Structure 1
Amino acid sequence: MVEHRPRGAATAAPAADEPARIDIVGLTKRFLTPKGDTFTAIRDVTLTVEPGQFCAIVGPTGCGKSTTLAQVSGLERPSAGSVSVGGRIVDGITSGVSYMFQADSLFPWKTVLANVMIGPILLGTPKKEATALALDWLRRVGLAGFEDRYPHQLSGGMRKRVAMAAALINNPRILLMDEPFGALDVQTKAIMQTELLTLWEELRPSVLFITHDLDEAVALSDRVVIMTSSPGTVKDVFDIDLPRPRGNVQEIRHEEKFLDIQGRIWESLRDEVTRAYEQTAGAAA
């Protein structure tokens, strides 16, 4: 289960290039609707991601998964509760964080090489060094020879490789991934999942990974968090006792142990998916 820490508990801050512990305590986020009403997206979310741990969050649509990531990144401020990264309260943009979204987040007017170089350049890396680093990362994600192409000239899977290189090139302490492979076809998704695990094994950042795909969550993660239907909060936490490295994620999905874990998690998730569907169907009636 997730370890809970007392509010305000302090830990030593990690070095900038080391994976960081994420502590979310009593996190609540409210928004004003266009009509002026208050909408609670998440309520009293409490969980911990250990340094270097791969944690997936699954739950029905609208349960606040993306809102939770926004709080960890510092892009949004909580209405109540707190988020700590490496023992420090998040009160602005969190340092050492990379974000990978479902939609392409590449600059269409920049080449593949220029897109991957952006992170090091913004951190003050000399252009020659940033270029060499970006070239190395493009090689690592299988895109050597495509440096001068533009995003529109690439397939969906290739664009995801560029986005992954851009997210990992700065060796982040924390990697936030919001349904990064959701728009890919099944075959390409399986390839990208395996490539992600290979690269993550090398760097071992702490990962918060949002997905609607339960198989994906189990195949990739050390821990799967189930969120309730809106307002979202933590319902269950499952430790994924599958050995690492996991190799080809498409193959492990047929193993008996995988199917057993997936089945137990689905038992918890199914009620929330059903409840969310009934809520939206009732609202539309």
Structure 2
Amino acid sequence: MEIRGLTKRFLTPKGEPFTAITDVTLTVEPGEFCAIVGPTGCGKSTTLAQVSGLEKPSAGAVAVGGKRVDGITDGVSYMFQADSLFPWKSVLHNVLIGPVLKGMAKKDAEMLARDWLRRVGLAGFEDRYPHQLSGGMRKRVAMAAALINDPRILLMDEPFGALDVQTKAIMQMELLQLWEQLRPSVLFITHDLDEAVALADKVVIMTSSPGTVKDVFPIDIPRPRRDIQELRRDPHFLELQGKIWNSLRDEVTSAYARTVAA
């Protein structure tokens, strides 16, 4: 995945021009897990929208597999921050909809969806509806729906941000285990610096608005990472976290000062 000079401008509700991101340049290698952190409003989600093809950039370009993105990107799955499940569909039918839309026979798609629900620990919940599930269970359904299509690229926009600490830790471990099986390239947005270091191969820091890439930190923690809670107490983990925070802190402070002044 190649992101080159990506810039996005739009008009505010008052009709004033606003630059969300400017000259974002980043490469994500095949099978690489890249986490993006930055202050609120720095354009992290905007960047994902350009990569997915849901929005067109004002300048710059995104290429996936050497092919320029111009519309919805083939081979990309997107896991949003908010629940993106169809409330009127059962768990099973939420998960199988991707393969069916890609042309798979419904019977085969149902078998595949049942297998993925088993992988995320939801066997036996196939006939439930989203409102009948806990927040963590809904995230598992969303993860199964994203991964069932065997994506080349997985975009994740703060997928675990609303979960309690215990459920979040479980979801992080489940994500790592499933990612190690499929190895898509991942762009993972988070406000949780510990989460970024624990999951990623590299952590990208974005500046306060307008967002651009400030620093890129390689995470040289060996894989597989089986116990994230234990990992967070490792001296090298704490060293990496401290270095990244030193870069991120100024951007967070600047963004906060801007909102207070406004």
Superposition pairs of residues 46-65 of structure 1, within 5 angstroms: 46-65=25-44
Deviation of 1:250 (Å): 1.5
Deviation of 1:244 (Å): 0.3
Q: TM-score, normalised by structure 1?
A: 0.91
- Code of the residue aligned with 1:33 in structure 2: it is T
Q: TM-score, normalised by structure 2?
A: 0.99
**Which of the numbers 21, 39, 44 marks the counterpart of 2:23?**
44
Superposition pairs of residues 140-151 of structure 1, within 5 angstroms: 140-151=119-130
Q: Which structure 2 residue ranges, 5 or more long, are not aligned?
A: none
**Which of the numbers 85, 105, 114 marks the counterpart of 1:126?**
105
| Mapped pair 1:91 → 2:70 | yes
Partner Cα distance (2:56, 2:228) in 1: 36
Partner Cα distance (1:255, 1:127) in 2: 47
Partner Cα distance (2:142, 2:226) in 1: 22
Counterpart secondary structure, 1:209:
strand
| Mapped pair 1:76 → 2:74 | no
| Mapped pair 1:33 → 2:29 | no
Deviation of 1:251 (Å): 1.4
| Mapped pair 1:158 → 2:157 | no
| Mapped pair 1:221 → 2:200 | yes
Deviation of 1:136 (Å): 0.4
Partner Cα distance (2:112, 2:230) in 1: 32
Deviation of 1:249 (Å): 1.2
**Which of the numbers 246, 249, 252 marks the counterpart of 1:273?**
252
Partner Cα distance (1:64, 1:244) in 2: 30
| Mapped pair 1:234 → 2:213 | yes
Partner Cα distance (2:200, 2:108) in 1: 33
| Mapped pair 1:178 → 2:157 | yes
Partner Cα distance (2:81, 2:166) in 1: 17
Determine the structure 2 residue equivalent to 1:67. 46
Partner Cα distance (1:216, 1:195) in 2: 13
Q: Deviations over 1:149-191 (max 9, x none)?
A: 1111111111111000000001000000000000000000000
- Point out 4+ residue stretches in structure 1 off by more than 6 angstroms: none
Partner Cα distance (1:169, 1:204) in 2: 13
Query: Over the residues paired in the alignment, what is the CA RMSD in angstroms?
Result: 0.5
- Code of the residue aligned with 1:232 in structure 2: it is G
Deviation of 1:220 (Å): 0.3
Q: Deviations over 1:107-143 (max 9, x none)?
A: 1111110100000010010011001000000000000
Counterpart secondary structure, 1:166:
helix
Determine the structure 1 residue equivalent to 2:232. 253
Q: Deviations over 1:55-92 (max 9, x none)?
A: 00000000000000000000001101111111011111
User: Percentage identity across aligned positions?
Assistant: 81
